[in-house]
Amino acid sequence: MAATLRLQKELKLLLKSPEPGIVAKPSSSTNILDWYFLIDGPKDTAYDKGKYLGKILFPKDYPFKPPGIIMSTPSGRFEPGKKICMSMSDYHPETWNPMWSVSSILKGIQSFMADNEITAGSIRTSEQEKKKLAKESVAWLVRNAQFRKVFAELIDAMEEEERKRKEENNETNE
């Protein structure tokens, strides 16, 4: 299966040469087609300092067909749990390029986050709401069962980041 070989190769590359602000891996050792990712919000935007969990659903004929992309973390940009329409997603197979990798897809999502184009899976909110959600994103991740399952190795760092954020803002534990 071409998809399995390609995704195994991409996973090795991501582990060997990680991209700043991007973590991605298959949801389980038995399903290489479903991946979870964690991306940092784009710098100098309302999403800056936010961390966002999402899922990439690769088709069996990847890389010849595009994946579905779903964001999970509330961001004010994408509707949580809904597929996102973008040129790199299964909404637009006509614009898909088989040379695109997991890494380029995730960079594309970061870039698309900063754009205001309204498409399927996107929502409109104020800059203030986006900043509020970015600030709350780490606390959301720490409470999210899927994040805790897939990215267990990141929980301590996320909890520490949230503790520091609360300390800086003189917030008490809930």
Chain segment 3-14, per-residue pLDDT in tens: 999 999 999 999
Quote the pTM value: 0.92
Domain at 81, CATH number: 3.10.110.10
Q: What residue numbers bound the domain in which 155 lies?
A: 2-168
Contact predicate 129/76, CB 8 Å: yes
Whether residue 42 is contained in a domain is answered as yes
Task: Provide φ and ψ at 169, rounded to 5°.
Answer: -100, 10
Looking at the domain assignment, is residue 173 inside a domain?
no
Decide if 135 is inside a domain: yes
Asked if residue 119 is part of any domain, the answer here is yes
Using a 10 angstrom Cβ sphere, with 0-12 exposed, 13-18 middle and 19 or more buried, the burial of residue 80 is: middle
- Any catalytic annotation for residue 163? no
Does residue 26 form part of some domain?
yes
* Total number of domains constituting the chain: 1
Q: Mean of the per-residue pLDDT values for the chain?
A: 93
pLDDT of residue 22: 95
Q: What is the pLDDT of residue 116?
A: 87
Query: Which residue of the set 33, 85, 114, 142 is catalytic?
Result: 85
